[in-house]
Amino acid sequence: MFLNLRVIVLLSSMLDLSLGTSGAAGVSSTDTLNDVRRNITDGQTLVSAGGSFTLGFFSPGAPDRRYLGIWFTASTDAVVWVANRDSPLNNTTGVLSINSAGTLLLLDGTGNTAWSSNTTTGNTLSSSAAQLLESGNLFVSDESAVLWQSFDHPSNTLVAGMRLGRNPQTGTEWSLTSWRSPADPATGDCRRAMDTRGLPDCVSWRGTAKKYRTGPWNGLWFSGVPEMASYSDMFTNVVVVRPDEVAYVFNATAAAPFSRLVLSEAGVVQRLVWDAGSRVWNVFAQAPRDVCDDYAKCGAFGLCNVNTASTLFCGCVLGFGPVSPEQWSMREASAGCRRNVPLDCRRDDGGTTTTTDGFAVVSGVKLPDTDNATVDMSATLKECRARCLAKCSCVAFAAADISGGGDGTGCVIWVGDIVDVRYVDKGQDLYVRLAKSELVNKKRGNMLKILLPIMVFLLVLMCIFLVWMCNFRGMRRNKDIQAKTMLGGASKELGDENIELPFVSFKDIVTATNDFSNNNMLGQGGFGKVYKGMLEDEKEVAIKRLSKSSGQGVEEFRNEVVLIAKLQHRNLVRLLGCCIHGDERLLIYEYLPNKSLDVFIFALHLCSC
């Protein structure tokens, strides 16, 4: 018995051991290629120290196309990087090795090089090694010198710590290139790169055509992608601007889930975040996200607004009109807009500028393309305005950095045309140069905007005064009614100040109208039927039975009754009481044999409007 137990314990511990080794992918369980192990063959993998990333061979489509790549261990379809994307191996005889010079080589079965990391120092290095880091970076180094890293050669995916940008000094670029199809990692048509002219800006290209722009970096986010601020608790977004590097980097906080930024075959960039619980990638953001993200959709000086589908999303910046209304009517807005009134600006030989122009602010927009704009990060907005005014070719200006709050700092000045402007949540202010007359027009519009509320306010005040007057008279009349206590039956006060209106029991009304007999009917309208009746005290009354289809609740009915009672006027027929019974709503009026029914009905309508 005792012995048996021991055997079981021993067996299970042996089992653990074997599971342990096979769990780490058979033969290879390390993350490094070095002197000890110089290569991995197809079927073997490198796994990063924490297990997040795996490097190995894979076939996304046909099995006779083998690629070397890095993927998320938890989601093997999520390939982060591909080495030989344009030169697949046709069978499983491939080998990745590191040579004595520290160069990575992907060899096919015959020893031909399918791909190489191209680090040709020429020297034989003593301790070069390639390591798959926990960040997903395949990192080749010799002692402390970095020889090569996969993060410098992105495929279609950016993971935390990778850069999208360029080195303006050498022209080296870190950009994303789409796959050709989900089953083919070959270099596709779409590219996402950092545009370092003007303010840093991420641009998606299809071939040589600009398709989408994130808008310039404003210190907090890219001007057209305010949603970047929504996940700043998990990922920090930084734009590094140095002489040798202008780049966008996103960094994950310690507890953040896996995230990747992927450029699809169609040119759409998605930020995907791994939900480890349900094992799916959730889409956090996507660009382009709507029609207004199409680059320069509304042309020069156009302004795109996703909320104006009825006008086909395109409009013109204030002070501009469509160049060709015919084309706009044919859904062709890319010719853009032109100025309604020419600017008035002259520069004399002495360099002095004479101008009567001014600026109108267009608020809440993604700033225009800054390719041809002049940027000065140290200027204030006030200086910026003065500079733009002094330069006759300047058509607009804006703050370059809003991270400090207020109106922002720094200065962007546009000359020529402004393109690709759209309304966006948390958008910025763009100051557009206009002729003086346009600004005067705008001021008149503003005056109207100020005057209109004042006029409305005065009108409301007058109405309140009139109602008060009526009420004052009504109260006096009401007192008369109360004094008389005309109607019998259970009487209850309606919950409103000064208004006491008796409730008449339904039974009394049925009796009074002969069970709503047709003989007693005086008339009929959309509101219901009106009956003549005789109450117990021989008083003749008219009873309005509201149609059940009116859908009025008890509370609304009460309010209406109180209102009518308040409006009592000597020329109007008087309301004497009311009744609520189940879904029956009844009003009891004074019966006026001499007055025409028209007056009667008019009075009723007045009360129920």
Give the shortest CB-114-to-ligand NAG separation in angstroms.
8
Q: Which is nearer to ligand NAG, 236 or 491 (CB)?
A: 236
The bridge status of strand 320-322 relative to strand 337-339 is antiparallel
Give the shortest CB-93-to-ligand NAG separation in angstroms.
5
The size of the interface with ligand NAG (CB under 6 A), counted in residues, is 28
Q: Tell me which stretch binds ligand NAG (CB under 6 A): 106-114, 380-388, 396-404, 454-462.
A: 106-114
Helices then strands, each counted (H, E), the chain? 7, 41
Give the shortest CB-553-to-ligand NAG separation in angstroms.
59
Contact between 64 and ligand NAG by CB under 6 A: the answer reads yes
Give the shortest CB-266-to-ligand NAG separation in angstroms.
24
Q: Which is nearer to ligand NAG, 107 or 501 (CB)?
A: 107
- Concatenate the DSSP letters of all residues of 386-452 into one string: HHHHH-TTEEEEE-SB-TT-TT-BSEEEEES-----EE-TTPEEEEEEE-HHHHHHHHHHHHHHHHH
Contact between 68 and ligand NAG by CB under 6 A: the answer reads no
Give the shortest CB-145-to-ligand NAG separation in angstroms.
19
Sequence-distant (6+) residues with CB within 8 A of 563 are 607
Q: Tell me which stretch binds ligand NAG (CB under 6 A): 51-59, 365-373, 551-559, 590-598.
A: 365-373
Least Cα distance to 182 among 54, 62, 53, 45 occurs for 62
Q: Which is nearer to ligand NAG, 139 or 531 (CB)?
A: 139
Least Cα distance to 425 among 287, 232, 224, 286 occurs for 224
Give the shortest CB-383-to-ligand NAG separation in angstroms.
24
Give the shortest CB-418-to-ligand NAG separation in angstroms.
8
Least Cα distance to 289 among 375, 225, 353 occurs for 225
Contact between 560 and ligand NAG by CB under 6 A: the answer reads no
Give the shortest CB-105-to-ligand NAG separation in angstroms.
9
Give the shortest CB-350-to-ligand NAG separation in angstroms.
28
Sequence-distant (6+) residues with CB within 8 A of 335 are 299, 322, 323, 324, 327
HEC string of 217-262 equals: ECCCCECCCHHHHHHCCCEEEEEEEECCEEEEEEEECCCCCCEEEE
Question: Interface residues for ligand NAG in 113-132 (CB under 6 A)?
Answer: 115-116, 118
Contact between 93 and ligand NAG by CB under 6 A: the answer reads yes
Contact between 517 and ligand NAG by CB under 6 A: the answer reads no
Question: Interface residues for ligand NAG in 208-267 (CB under 6 A)?
Answer: 236, 238, 249, 251, 254
Contact between 182 and ligand NAG by CB under 6 A: the answer reads no
Q: Tell me which stretch binds ligand NAG (CB under 6 A): 11-19, 48-56, 109-117, 325-333.
A: 109-117
The encoded tokens of residue 193 equal 């790169």
Candidates 52, 75, 97, 286: give the one binding ligand NAG (CB under 6 A): 97
Give the shortest CB-369-to-ligand NAG separation in angstroms.
4
- Cβ atoms within 10 Å of 142's Cβ, excluding its own: 17
Sequence-distant (6+) residues with CB within 8 A of 305 are 292, 313, 314, 315, 422, 423
- 40: part of which helix (H) or strand (E)? strand 39-41
Q: Tell me which stretch binds ligand NAG (CB under 6 A): 104-112, 166-174, 267-275, 547-555.
A: 104-112
Give the shortest CB-119-to-ligand NAG separation in angstroms.
10
Q: What are phi and psi of 379, to 5 degrees?
A: -75, 155
Q: Which is nearer to ligand NAG, 44 or 520 (CB)?
A: 44
Contact between 108 and ligand NAG by CB under 6 A: the answer reads yes
Task: Compute the chain's Rg from CA coordinates.
Answer: 40
- Cβ atoms within 10 Å of 596's Cβ, excluding its own: 9
Candidates 371, 376, 407, 429: give the one binding ligand NAG (CB under 6 A): 371
Question: Interface residues for ligand NAG in 271-290 (CB under 6 A)?
Answer: none
Q: Which is nearer to ligand NAG, 51 or 109 (CB)?
A: 109
Query: 174 and 155 in contact (C-beta within 8 Å)?
Result: no
| C-beta pairs of 282-291 under 8 Å, 24+ apart in sequence | 284/227, 284/230, 284/231, 284/259, 285/225, 285/227, 285/228, 285/231, 287/204, 287/212, 287/214, 287/224, 287/225, 288/204, 288/211, 288/212
**Contact set with ligand NAG (CB under 6 A):** 37-39, 64, 89-91, 93, 95, 97, 107-110, 115-116, 118, 236, 238, 249, 251, 254, 369, 371-372, 416-417, 419
